[in-house]
Amino acid sequence: MAKQIPSLGYALLGLIHQKPSSGYDLRKIFSSTSMKTYSDSPGAIYPALRRLEKQSLIRGTVEEGSGLRRRQIFRLTAKGLAELKRWIELPIGRDDLSSGLKIVMLRFAFSEKAVGPSASLEILKSVEAALGPHLRDLGEKLEAMRPFAPTSGRLALECGIRSYESLLEWTRYSISIFEKQLQGGRRET
């Protein structure tokens, strides 16, 4: 059925949901903003858009009003929004931390607009819960390798640990922001 959309596909879905865009717009976002982890090559984006369209997750309409060149603007369909929500609300476990934070952060970034602040808070709490055991685990690995590995190898692992510690601080900070926002005056998107 939903034949396993790659993460680029979800990045496109989320961006299109935030603002209907053409393929060219999306390429510029990938090349100019901090989303450089995704390729801005036409050979990646245009086929990906066509796949999403074939699955009826987005629909493209040709713009010609402004006298400019043919530009196809894509918008999410109801099905596309549902799929985006489903993906954002997937449970988060330890695997999602170790195998690339990128995807979790992407889901979080889109969560507020696509599902609502409570979903953002949910993601943050899952991340916080997963970070504890994960950090303990990394610490044990560091101790285990300490006598054997060269300095650079140890430091590389320490770098990972520090980055997860910094993530934990950020998570708590962000949780407090969303809790304030949810408990206090309810504010719209």
Partner DNA sequence: CGCCCCATGTAAGACGTTACATGATTGA
Partner DNA sequence: TCAATCATGTAACGTCTTACATGGGGCG
- Binder of DNA out of 15, 16, 23, 124 (CB under 7 A): 23
Closer CB to DNA, 42 or 139, in the complex: 42
Interface of this chain with its own copies, residues 105 to 164, rule: CB under 8 A: 105-106, 108-113, 117, 120, 138, 141, 150-153, 155-160, 162-163
Q: Which stretch binds its own copies (CB under 8 A): 5-13, 53-61, 70-78, 100-108?
A: 100-108
Task: Find which of DNA, its own copies, none residue 70 binds, CB within 5 to 8 Å per kind.
Answer: DNA
Per-residue contact string for residues 62-81; x = within reach of DNA by CB under 7 A: -----xxxxxx---------
- Binder of DNA out of 14, 15, 17, 27 (CB under 7 A): 27
Task: Find which of its own copies, DNA, none residue 68 binds, CB within 5 to 8 Å per kind.
Answer: DNA
- Binder of its own copies out of 12, 26, 81, 167 (CB under 8 A): 167
3-state secondary structure the chain: CCCCCCHHHHHHHHHHHHCCEEHHHHHHHHHHCCCCCCCCCHHHHHHHHHHHHHCCCEEEEEECCCCCCCEEEEEECHHHHHHHHHHHCCCCCHHHHHCCHHHHHHHHHHHHHHCCHHHHHHHHHHHHHHHHHHHHHHHHHHHHHCCCCCHHHHHHHHHHHHHHHHHHHHHHHHHHHHHHHHHCCCCCC
Burial label for 19, CB within 10 Å (0-12, 13-18, 19+), is exposed
Does residue number 6 form part of the binding site for DNA (CB under 7 A)? Answer: yes
Closer CB to its own copies, 56 or 163, in the complex: 163
Q: In angstroms, what is the minimal distance from the CB of 108 to DNA? A: 20
Does residue number 2 form part of the binding site for its own copies (CB under 8 A)? Answer: no
